[in-house]
Amino acid sequence: MADEVKTLERIYRRGLSRRQFLQRSAALGISSAAALSFLAACGPGGTSGSSPSAAAGGGGKPAGADGPVKLSFFVYVGANQGVVPREVVAEYTKANPNVTIELYEGTNAETYPKMVAARKTTPDQPIVNFGFVNADANAKGDVDDLWETLDPANVPTLSNVLDSFKRPSNKGIAWGMVGIGLMYNTDNVKSAPTSWLDFWDPRFKGRLALSNGNHYLSGLVTTTRANGGKESDPAAIDKTIKLMSDKAKEGQIRLFFLSNDQVKQPMIRGEVWLSGWFNSSVDIWANQEKGPFGYAAPKEGQIAFTLYHHVVKGSSPAQKYHAEKIINMMNDKKWLSRYCNLTHSIPVAKDIQLDKELADQEAFKTKNIEGAIQLDWPTIAAKNAEWNERFNKEVVAFVK
């Protein structure tokens, strides 16, 4: 009996949810009656299946947080994106030697489906506990109910996020964005474009490149927004597709692209003068590669391709607690400033110190960050197949 109690105490100190605690106890041959009796003796402040926040006591340290805790931290691969996460992890684990953190590097596109699969098959064992999430995966995670609510007591940096980027119920924290605006050829365009409607300006006839499939880059969503409509308004979408179809027949569109190079190389050659693209790529192509690229934030607003930090549901209370603490470090002004400067990301928090060469760029100006367009990503995802079918028949088909 004494050995059984010691075993239960060891399991309890891991900070598992009630269900995880009972499953682990049963796996070790301990009866559910004994495990439930042990939990009852721990009192209302002990492990509970209600929620990690409840188990943590509203910002307090949950049971098991001082014992061995292992976390998986998803980070983006390449382009200096792993530098600051590694530095933060090193500092945090030095102060908390009981915590072990494994970096899971990749892209949201390849990792998100695996996260959803794990949620369905092993809901208490997510493949990543927390990490970086882009606008598309963020919207999908809302639909799939993947995100934990962050506790402001553990993540006080939530209050530093610009109001237009704050998440409902603190389900994650927005830390930055990539701006999508007007990319133009500086050799041939001497007066920078100023509006999403410049796609249809006669001076760019036969010189416009659009995405075939990503409708935040295809002109469909941005033209709809510039004309006062929304993605969720079928009549507004119909009007835009009609306009684009007419312009395609008139020869306004030079080509459609599916990859970076399919828009980059024609612009270098001077075949394309205007497109929609990411500010970070334009920055690299213009300032590091010395190509003929310019970036303009449209008067209607650049698109905010927002980036987040999330804790994934299924994490234990102890895992959630430490994940929140690390997320708070990542969003501290010191670390977030360093991350944004290294990766050329646009911060969406107050008082972040950027290198002058970045701060002077159009995409990084406060008015263009605060005025960025927040797209309806769930609607775009839901309508993508339908829009693609119409787009290919009514627009792409008329571009030779």
Q: Using one digit for the tens of pLDDT, what is the confidence trace for 40-75?
A: 655 444 443 334 433 444 557 898 999 999 999 999
379 CB-near residues (< 8 Å, 6+ apart)? 231, 232
User: Within 13 Å of residue 288, how many CA atoms lie on the same side as its CB?
Assistant: 8
355 CB-near residues (< 8 Å, 6+ apart)? 341
Q: What is the pLDDT of residue 12?
A: 67
Tokens standing for residue 378: 């769930």
Q: What is the pLDDT of residue 52?
A: 40
> How confident is the model over 2-12, as a mean pLDDT?
69
Q: What is the pLDDT of residue 32?
A: 73
Asked whether the predicted pLDDT for residue 20 surpasses 80, the reply is: no
343-374 pLDDT tens trace: 889 899 999 999 998 988 888 888 888 888 98
> How confident is the model over 173-181, as a mean pLDDT?
94
Q: What is the pLDDT of residue 4?
A: 72
Between CA 111 and CA 127 the distance in angstroms is 9
Structure confidence at residue 243 as a pLDDT band (50, 70, 90): very high
Tokens standing for residue 359: 């701060």
Verdict on whether the full-model pTM lies above 0.75:
no
The DSSP string of 243-285 is HHHHHHHHT-EEEEESSHHHHHHHHHTTS--EEEEEHHHHHII
Mean pLDDT of the chain: 89
Nearest to 303 by CA among 375, 390, 377, 229: 375
Position with higher pLDDT, 144 vs 198: 198
367-399 pLDDT tens trace: 888 888 989 988 988 888 899 999 999 999 999
Asked whether the predicted pLDDT for residue 213 surpasses 80, the reply is: no
Quick check: helix, strand or coil at residue 202?
helix
134-169 pLDDT tens trace: 888 898 899 889 999 999 999 999 999 999 889 999
